[in-house]
């Protein structure tokens, strides 16, 4: 069971999301329910653990709806925001801002406890994360690889348009629906409000971090996202010798962030716009693979020479 106290402060806030960029118009929160969490959901096995909380499988008792249940201790919350005068962890705020995006995991409701928050999210019954999917399947067919990466890039673009930067894009944070092959971006615990100025904090996965953070301690949101997408693309297509795909990876992994493509430019790259019925071949040398699928591969080994300029 989730380690929470049985107290009189249990309350649930079901979220209704409007597609509007203004914060005061995005959130509509229902009156707190008097039902305790334990009478509304049945908690199952652990799905995953991270630096900000533990995620469990669960079922809503009234209708059997499968859900994911994340328990976040207040002590681990670094940034708080306000939703209709209610103080909530930034992760809940970000989930509400992206709830209208098909490619993002959708928040259903949340409970406030005396020492923690419980976040209830959608969960497909037939799904697995992209890391496990690729591990089991091996090399992806080119049309599927392109479709997956296109879905991810479009979702990241939509998040940025909603004012949210994820900051931990990796295959473990992407869920594959095994029936529809649609993807969902999950775990916004390392995310932030998107801004035009530099970030100096980073709570995401270190091997997906951009070189400007490692060397200079600062980075821009979009450029860092493009770097992470380049690492993801390399990791997804290890040992695949597609010339145009390699070109896109190299562009995303430019050491100088100013030389990386914008997110929209990735979608216009020749490999992304090539016919799905025409697999590409290449006589050029492939990108040197690492012995395993770990993202700590050679693609993520940051070169020592990085420009610390703050100009974009």
- Residue 49 annotated as binding site: yes
Has 21 been annotated as catalytic? Answer: no
- Residue 54 annotated as binding site: yes
Q: Is the torsion defined by CA of 207, 211, 254, 186 positive or negative?
A: positive
- Residue 48 annotated as binding site: yes
What DSSP character marks residue 308? -
CA nearest neighbour of 281 among 105, 142, 114: 142
The residue from 25, 63, 132, 168 that is catalytic is: 168
Contact 312, 259 (CB under 8 A): no
Specify the residue for token string 């060397």.
215
- Residue 122 annotated as binding site: yes
- Residue 140 annotated as binding site: no
- Residue 55 annotated as binding site: yes
Distance CA 277, CA 219 (A): 38
Distance CA 38, CA 206 (A): 36
Contact 68, 47 (CB under 8 A): yes
Contact 15, 37 (CB under 8 A): no
Contact 187, 131 (CB under 8 A): no
- Residue 129 annotated as binding site: yes
Catalytic residues: 168
- Please enumerate, by residue number, every residue annotated as part of a binding site for ATP: 47-55, 70, 122, 129
- Please enumerate, by residue number, every residue annotated as part of a binding site: 47-55, 70, 122, 129
């Amino acid at each position: 069971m989730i380690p929470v106290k049985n107290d009189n402060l249990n309350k649930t806030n079901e979220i209704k999301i409007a597609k509007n960029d203004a914060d005061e118009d995005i959130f509509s929160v229902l009156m707190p329910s008097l039902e305790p969490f334990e009478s509304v959901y049945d908690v199952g096995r652990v799905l995953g653990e991270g630096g900000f909380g533990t995620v469990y499988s669960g079922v809503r008792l009234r209708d059997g709806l499968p859900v994911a249940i994340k328990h976040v201790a207040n002590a681990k919350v670094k940034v708080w925001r306000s939703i209709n005068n209610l103080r909530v962890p930034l992760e809940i705020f970000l989930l509400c801002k992206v709830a209208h995006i098909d490619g993002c995991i959708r928040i259903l409701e949340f409970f406030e406890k005396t020492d923690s928050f419980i976040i209830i999210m959608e969960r497909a019954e037939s799904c697995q994360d992209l890391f496990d999917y690729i591990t089991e399947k091996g090399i992806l067919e080119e049309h599927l690889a392109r479709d997956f990466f296109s879905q991810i890039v479009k979702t990241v673009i939509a998040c940025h348009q909603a004012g949210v930067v994820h900051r931990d894009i990796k295959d473990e944070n992407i869920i594959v629906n095994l029936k529809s092959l649609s993807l969902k971006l999950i775990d916004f615990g390392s995310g932030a409000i998107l801004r035009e100025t530099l970030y100096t904090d980073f709570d995401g996965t270190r091997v997906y971090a951009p070189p400007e953070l490692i060397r200079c301690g600062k980075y821009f949101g979009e450029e860092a996202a493009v770097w992470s997408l380049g690492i993801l693309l390399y990791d997804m297509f290890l040992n695949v010798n597609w010339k145009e795909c390699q070109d896109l990876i190299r562009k995303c992994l430019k050491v100088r962030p100013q030389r990386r493509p914008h997110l929209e430019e990735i979608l216009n790259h020749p490999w992304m716009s090539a016919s799905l019925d025409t697999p590409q071949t290449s006589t050029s040398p492939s990108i040197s693979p690492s012995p395993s699928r770990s993202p700590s591969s050679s693609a993520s080994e940051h070169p020592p020479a990085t420009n610390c300029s703050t100009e974009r």
